[in-house]
Structures are given as C-alpha cells and as structure tokens.
A and B are shown apart, each in its own frame.
Chain A
Amino acid sequence: MTRLRRTLLAGVILLALLALAALVSTAFGAVPLSFRQVADGLTGGPDAFIVRQYRLPRVLVSITAGAALGVAGVFLQAAMRNPLASPDVVGFSKGGGVGAMAAVIFTPPAAQVWTVPLGVLAGTTLTAGALLLITRRFGGGVTALVLVGAALAALAGALVEYLLVRRPQSADQAMVWLAGSVYGSDGADVVTLLAWLAVCLPLTVLATLSVDIAGFGDDSVVSLGRHPARVRAVLVVAAVLLTAGAVTSVGSIGFLGLLAPHIARFAVGSRGTHLVPAAALTGALVLCLADFAGRVVALPNEIPAGIVAVVVGGPYLLFLLVRENVVRENGKHA
C-alpha cells in the first residue's frame, strides 16, 4: 500500500530529524558540549548536571508541547473545515495566557501548582466557547473566523497587560512566558505535561478517528451514522485540552498549530490516522528547532521560541491567505 509506505517513510525521516535536532539542541548552549559529553552526561558523567537538569527537560518539553500543539491544529482545522484554523491563530493560546496570569495574581503561591493549569484550561475553554458562539451566531467565512480569533486574541492580550500592570513584580517573567518560551523547564514540567497528555490520550485517539468524517458535509456525516455536532465537539474539546496542556508548560507559542498540520499534510496527505502522528512529529520538530534557533541567534541573550515561531509562521499564514483567495477565484475547490 503506497500511502502507508509513504507515511512510514515520512515518519522515519521526521523521527530522525527530531532525534538530530534534540541532540544538537542538547549539545549547544552557553557551555558547548561535544556529542560524547552529552552521551556521558546522560549516563551520569561530569556534565550530568547541565544535561539532566537544564538541557534535557527543555528539549523534552519543547518536543512534547510542540507535538500537542501540532495535533490540536489538525483537530481544529478538521472541526472547522478551515485550513487557517489553529489554536494560536484563533486566540486559544492567548485566552489560556489570561487564565494563567489571573491564577498567578489572585491565588496564593502555594496553590499555584494547581490553579495555573486550571486557569489556563478555563481561559482556553472560555475563548473556544466565545469563538464558537460568535461564528455560529453569525456564520463565518474561512477568513472571518480567523479575524474573530484575532480580535479575541487582542482582547486577551489587553487583559493580560492589565493584569501585568496590576502586578508589575511578576512582569518580566510573565513577558517571556507570554511570548512563549521553554526557558527554565525542569523535570517536573516534563512529567506534568506527559501525565496530562496521557490523560488526554483516549480522547485524542477518538478525535483522530473523527478527523476524516468531519471533513464531509453535515448530511454525509448523518448518512454515515454519526452526529455532526458530536463529531465536531469531540475534535474541539480534544484541541482545547491539548492546547491547555501545551500553554501551561510553554506559554502562548504562536503559529505552531497552524504550521505543523500543513507541513504534515504536505508529507503524508490528509487521512486522519496518518496526518495526526505526522503533525505531532512535525510540531515537535518545529518547536525544538525554534527553541534552538532562539538560543543561538542572539547569544548571550535568548529569544523566546514563540517569537521565532511567529517570524517563521507569519509569512506562511500570509502565503496561505493569498493562496486561499486565488484558489477561490479560480473556481477550484477551496
């Protein structure tokens, strides 16, 4: 079966690239290490502290969060039948940021291990609800949805800045977090994120199986014996949960959820069971590379990975936008 073979090939290539990126990313930094030193560090050599405490958690968090965002992007694009939809473009990530900021400010520090993730989840869910309500109430073209998302993101951004001004002592840390950064990730972050994603796994599998069906019109979905609203709900809820997990650990990283599904679709086509794993690998690879680029571009400073992602993803969204219109004008399928 050629499609399966192609997907497997793409998966192997992506995995190899990801392993390479992770290795290089672990080796590079303020203290450059050779690959042998990295290998020694992993097993407890002289550089074990740098490798195990700083570099490795960071790489693992970027890989896991990137994968979650990539998959969330696939689900949202399928649920909304909109190639421009993704958790960051439609403002989910920024909404999660508001929730996190509110949790940091209004709850005691001791409880923040619990309140921050809850805040992110609440913010993301509220944003998703608002977006669905607005687009459902008014209907919505492909680009109008994104514009509504941009407006929601602007609103969320203003709220965040309001909270920042109320609590200026946490501003510096929050700015980096809001831009989206894997800086300062530790082992506990990795474990938390992995545990969260494990909880989401059943729903993710269910949503993956719904990706193809959601691509049909509502009538076809009914004739296939499925409930269109329920199919979409599964996809959106899965996307919200995955996004909340990623935003909790790495902040509002933009354009990743947009970029990864498109690259993956280019590689393996749009069948759900092939696309979702490929998008996960692509998202992981892109975030790992963005973090790496942000670390080495401006030594000794660090540019948050989210900024790198916007600089790469922004032009791509522009390209999609122009193509979307050109395709529609040429009368081909949108």
Chain B
Amino acid sequence: MPTADSPPVPVEAAARRRIALGPLPVMAALLVVAVIAAACVGASGLPLARAVHGLFVWDGSADHELVIGVRLPRAVLSVLVGANLAVAGLLAQTLTRNPLASPQTFGVNAGASLAIVLTAAVLPSTGVLGAVPSAFAGAAGVGAIMWFLSLSGAVSAVGLALAGITLQLLLTALVQALLIMSNTTQDLVFWLAGSVTGADWPKVAVVLPFTVVCGVTVLLAARHLGLLELDATTGASLGQNTRRVAALAAALVVLLAGSAVAVSGPIGFVGLIVPHIARRLPGGAGLRRQAVLCLVGGPLLLVCADLLGRVLAFPAELPVGVVTALLGAPVFLLLAVRGRGR
C-alpha cells in the first residue's frame, strides 16, 4: 500500500501500470487506424476524404453505401476472425504444451472446411447457417483425433505438428476433390486459401456471438486455463479439475476456429504466430494478458494482411490467407527448427 511517507512507491505503481498495459494502447490505436484505412482503401478508388465522409456521415449517399455496406463489414469480419483464430491458437498451444500448435497446423481448420464443403454439396440450400454447425462438427472431429494423439504420448511435439499438417494436406485434398466433383470451381482458389472477400453484415452477425462469448469465457477462466501449461499432476495438486478445464479449452478452440472458418475459409498462420508474439511482448506473462494481446493482435494482423493483399495485387485481390501464409511460413520454419530439441 502506498503511504504518504514513501514517495517512490507511487512512481513504481505507475511504472507497474505501464508494464501491465504494455503495448496494448499502441496496438489498440493501430487497430483503429487499420480498420479505418481498410474502410477507405479499395478498388473503386474513392478519394480518402469522401471515404471518411461516407464512413462517418450516414446520409445514404453512394459513398456511404459502399463504405458501410461493403468495406466496413469486411474490416469488422477481419477483426472478429483474427481475434477468433489468435485466441484459438493460444488455447491450443497452452492445452497441448506445443509451440507449433494452432488451428491450422493441427488440421482443425481443414476439418471444418471439409465438413462445410460436404454440407454444401449434400444440402446446398442451407447456406452460411448450415456452414456453422458443420464447421463445428468438422473441427471437433479433427480436434478429437489430435487430442487423442497428443494424449497417447506416442508422438513428440514436432511429430504432432507434422501429423496435423499431414491431416491438413489430406483433408484439403478431399476438399479439392469434392469441389471438382460438384463443379463449383469458380472461387476454389479463394476459398481454399481463406478470404474475407464478400463479407457482409449477416456473416458478421454469425461470428460475433462466438467471438464475444468465447472471448469473455477465456478472460474469466484464464486463471484455470493457464494452469493447463503445467502438467496434469501439478494442476491437480493446485486443486484444478484438469480434465474438465482441458475439455473447456478444447471446446473453445473448436467454437472459435469453427466459426471463423465458416465465414472466411481456412485462414492459416494467424493462430500460430500471434500467440508467440503476444508471449514475447512486455506484459505478456500469464494467460489472461496473452489472451487480451491476442484479442487485439490477431485482428491487427488480419486487417493489415487484408489491406496488404488488396494493395499488393492491385487491382486484383490476394486472398488474405495467402498474405498470412507469406508472412507466417517463415515464422513457422523458425519455430519448427527451434522445436526439434523437445
């Protein structure tokens, strides 16, 4: 407790608060800037002033319709999907104690994709609402396989990631085969890579509840979820029902990754690299702070990647999943090489 006769303490407290917040204010500010930029930059070449006008002045003009109806939902969807994937990756890495874990490298995204494409082929009328439950089913199926493999102890950390990637290749091949068989090849490239093109408010509404509910759950249960990093015996000796907490974490991964894939396809590497960056940032100790950093950092990465994809291939668009792969594959390489000793 700071008292009147100990002058250094308030200074320390302020310093501590600064560390506790860490780079969070800067990241949040950057995210706001990125979202506004994403709403203003696009193929139609709207001047910046008119785009900003369309964003903030709700007068029903064409500019307003473009910015509010097309670009803003895309930016918001990127924010939500980025948050989902980053937190899912963080939980997967904590749960399996494997630095190479993520919804993509463990094949969870691909499982969700396969289930979605399968549903679309069998029941074409269900649309995006049919995609969500099937994405959960697919993600849960692959998640169960990977969990079983990791619990069986037969496979090392690197081996587990390799098994996940093999599973991903396999499931992606099946998705390709299905898409070819059902003659829906027109946006195959885009969908397989993962993309937020064609975002609209209904898609935002589909994914928003999952982001909010799962995000709040992670923050509230962070104390318990964080203990998963220890081995099961230590967790149990600290009074933790480890099995129940692990099941909660696995369910959260499935919900977060599944809902993200349902609206945007399997976007890779966000869930892998954002948690690693979050852990290295000042104030990145403890699962709750890491989760907060992921909730801001994932969206920041994805919005910027989407912007980059629109600028790099102008006037065409690069699927955001391609940009994240270009950025993320080298990081993955580094982690794989470093993880070999474990």
Instruction: Tell me the A163-191 residues at the B interface (CB within 8 Å).
Output: 164-166, 168, 171-172, 175, 179
A99 within 8 A of B: no
**Chain A nearest Cβ from B43, distance in angstroms:** 13
Chain B interface size, as a band, is 35 or more
Does A49 belong to the interface (CB within 8 Å)? no
Is B317 in contact with A165, judged by CB distance below 8 angstroms?
Answer: yes
Known: A165-B319, A314-B166. A140 touches B181 (CB 8 A): no
A152 to B326 Cα, complex, angstroms: 10
CA distance A321 to B336 in the complex (A): 16
Q: Which residues of A contact B181 (CB under 8 A)?
A: 298, 301, 303
| Contact for A318 among B166, B180, B316, CB less than 8 A | B166
Contact of A146 among B162, B193, B317 (CB under 8 A): B162
B326 touches A301 (CB 8 A): no
Check if A79 is an interface residue, CB within 8 A of chain B. no
B177, A307: Cβ atoms closer than 8 Å: yes
How many residues of chain A get a CB closer than 8 Å to chain B's CBs? 49
Contacting pair A168 B162 (CB below 8 A):
no
Q: How far is the CA of A324 from the CA of B173 in the complex (A)?
A: 24
Known pairs A138-B337, A143-B162, A175-B185; A314 contacts B170 (CB<8 A) = yes
Q: How far is the CA of A175 from the CA of B174 in the complex (A)?
A: 15
* Chain B 178-217 interface residues, beta-carbon cutoff 8 Å to A: 180-181, 183, 185, 188-189, 193
Contacts of A171 in B (CB 8 A): 189
A310 touches B169 (CB 8 A): yes
Return chain A residues, CB-CB under 8 Å to B180: 298, 301-304, 307
Q: Which of B303-342 contact A (CB under 8 A)?
A: 312-313, 316-319, 322-323, 325-326, 328-330, 332-333, 336-340
Whether A147 pairs with B154 at a CB distance below 8 angstroms is no
- The interface residues of chain A lying within 8 Å CB-to-CB of B220 are none
- Cβ contact within 8 Å between B170 and A161: no
Q: Is the Cβ of B100 less than 8 Å from the Cβ of A164?
A: no
Using Cβ atoms and an 8 Å threshold, which residues of chain B touch A161? 189, 193, 318-319, 322
Would you call B156 and A325 a contact (CB within 8 A)? yes
CB-based contact A307/B173 at 8 Å: yes
Pick from A165, A172, A302: contact of B313, CB under 8 Å:
A165
Q: Are B340 and A140 in contact (CB under 8 A)?
A: yes
Q: Are B166 and A143 within 8 A (Cβ)?
A: no
Instruction: Tell me if B165 counts as interface (CB < 8 A to partner A).
Output: yes
A272 to chain B, nearest CB (A): 27
Instruction: Say how far A169's CB is from chain B's closest CB, in angstroms.
Output: 11
Q: Min CB distance, B151 to chain A, in Å?
A: 13
- A interface SS class: helix
| In the assembled complex, A225 has its CB within 8 A of some CB on chain B | no
Q: Are A158 and B166 in contact (CB under 8 A)?
A: no
A contact residues around B155 at 8 Å (CB): 321-322, 325
Residue A24 lies at the interface, judged by CB distance under 8 Å to chain B = no
The answer to whether A144 and B166 have CB atoms under 8 Å apart is: no
Q: Residue-by-residue, is A316-328 near B (CB-CB < 8 Å gives 1, otherwise 0)?
A: 0110011011100
Q: Closest CB-CB distance, B144 to chain A, in whole Å?
A: 15
* Residue from A138, A165, A304 whose CB has the most chain B CB atoms within 10 Å: A165
What's the Cα separation between A302 and B185 when bound, in Å? 13
Are the CB atoms of A165 and B318 closer together than 8 Å? yes
Output the nearest chain B residue to A147 by Cβ-Cβ distance.
Answer: B336
Selected from B162, B177, B337, the residue in CB contact (under 8 A) with A303 is B177
Question: How far, in angstroms, from A321 to B322 measured CA to CA in the complex?
Answer: 28
Which of B166, B176, B340 interacts with A138 by CB under 8 Å?
B340
A155 adjacent to B163 (CB under 8 Å):
no
In the complex, which residues of chain B have a beta carbon less than 8 angstroms from the beta carbon of A303? 177, 180-181
A157 CB–B CB distance under 8 Å? yes
Assess A324 versus B329: contact at CB under 8 Å? Given A139-B340, A161-B322, A179-B176: no
Contacts of B329 in A (CB 8 A): 151-152, 154-155, 158
CB of A324 to closest CB in B, whole Å: 7
Q: Contact: B313 with A166, CB < 8 Å?
A: yes
Question: Cβ of B135 < 8 Å from any Cβ of A?
Answer: no
Residue numbers in A under 8 Å from B339 (CB-CB): 144, 147
> Could you give, for residues 98-122 of chain B, a 1 whenever the CB lies within 8 Å of some chain A CB and a 0 otherwise?
0010000000000000000000000
Q: Does any Cβ of A come within 8 Å of B2's Cβ?
A: no
Is the C-beta of A148 less than 8 angstroms from some C-beta in chain B? yes
Tell me whether A155 and B159 are in contact in the complex, defined as CB-CB below 8 angstroms, given that A147-B165, A148-B337 are known contacts: no
Say yes or no for A315: interface residue by CB 8 A criterion.
yes
Does B161 reach chain A (CB closer than 8 Å)?
A: yes
Whether A157 and B313, one on each chain, are in contact in the complex, defined by CB atoms closer than 8 angstroms, is no
Whether A310 contacts B325 in the complex (CB less than 8 A), given A147-B158, A172-B185, comes out as: no
B268 within 8 Å of A (CB atoms): yes
The 10 closest A-B pairs by CB, nearest first: A314-B170, A158-B325, A144-B340, A310-B173, A155-B329, A147-B336, A151-B333, A138-B337, A298-B181, A154-B329
Interchain residue pairs with CB less than 8 A apart (7)? A151-B336, A154-B269, A161-B319, A168-B316, A303-B180, A304-B176, A310-B169
12 A-B pairs besides A144-B158, A144-B339, A148-B336 with CB distance below 8 A are A138-B337, A144-B340, A151-B336, A152-B329, A154-B269, A154-B332, A165-B316, A303-B180, A314-B167, A318-B167, A321-B163, A324-B159
Q: List A residues at the B interface (Cβ < 8 Å).
A: 134, 138-141, 143-144, 146-148, 150-152, 154-155, 157-159, 161-162, 164-166, 168, 171-172, 175, 179, 254, 298, 301-304, 306-308, 310-311, 314-315, 317-318, 321-322, 324-326, 329
